[in-house]
Amino acid sequence: MLHYRPRFEALIEDLRRHPCIQVLDAAIPPGLSEERIEALEREAGGKLPAAAHTFFREMNGVTVFWRAPRELPGELWMAYIDQEPQSDYFHPEQTHGILIPPLEEIVAFTQWPREFVVLGDEPARFAGDELAHADLARRIFPFDFHLRRSNEDAAMALVLFDDPERARVVKLISSGCLEPKAATTDFASYLELLVATRGEQRERERFEAWSSEPLTFDAAQLAERGRQYFRVP
CATH of the domain at 85: 3.40.1580.10
| CA geometry: angle 8, 186, 213, nearest 5 deg | 140
Strands of the sheet with 62-67, listed across from one edge: 22-27, 62-67, 96-100
* Identity of residue 136: L
Phi first, then psi: give them for residue 142, nearest 5 degrees: -55, 135
The pTM is what? 0.92
pLDDT tens digits for 198-213?
999 888 888 888 887 8
Q: For the chain, what is the domain count? A: 1
Pairing assessment for the beta strands 168-172 and 155-159 based on DSSP bridges: antiparallel
Q: Which residues pair with 129 in a beta bridge?
A: 126
On whether the CB atoms of residues 44 and 160 are closer than 8 A, the answer is yes
Q: What whole-number percentage of the chain has pLDDT above 90?
A: 51
C-alpha distances in angstroms, 12 versus 7, 43, 183?
9, 32, 28
Side-chain half-sphere of 98: how many Cα atoms within 13 Å? Answer: 26
Q: What is the mean pLDDT of the chain?
A: 89
Q: List the chain pLDDT tens, one digit each, 233 residues.
A: 579 999 999 999 999 999 999 999 999 999 999 999 999 999 999 999 999 999 999 999 999 999 998 888 888 988 888 888 777 788 877 899 999 999 999 999 765 555 677 888 888 888 778 888 888 888 999 999 998 877 677 789 999 999 999 999 999 877 678 888 889 999 999 999 999 999 998 888 888 888 878 888 888 988 888 888 899 98
In this structure, is the dihedral angle defined by the CA atoms of residues 61, 96, 186 and 2, taken in order, positive or negative?
Answer: negative
pLDDT tens digits for 47-69?
999 999 999 999 999 999 999 98
d(CA 42, CA 38): 6
Could you give the 3-state DSSP secondary structure of residue 93? coil
Phi first, then psi: give them for residue 12, nearest 5 degrees: -65, -40
Pairing assessment for the beta strands 177-178 and 117-118 based on DSSP bridges: parallel
* Domain residue limits at 16: 5-229
C-alpha distances in angstroms, 15 versus 11, 73, 215?
6, 18, 26
Helix (H) or strand (E) holding 69: none
Q: What share of the chain is helix, strand, coil (3-state, %, to 5)?
A: 40, 20, 40
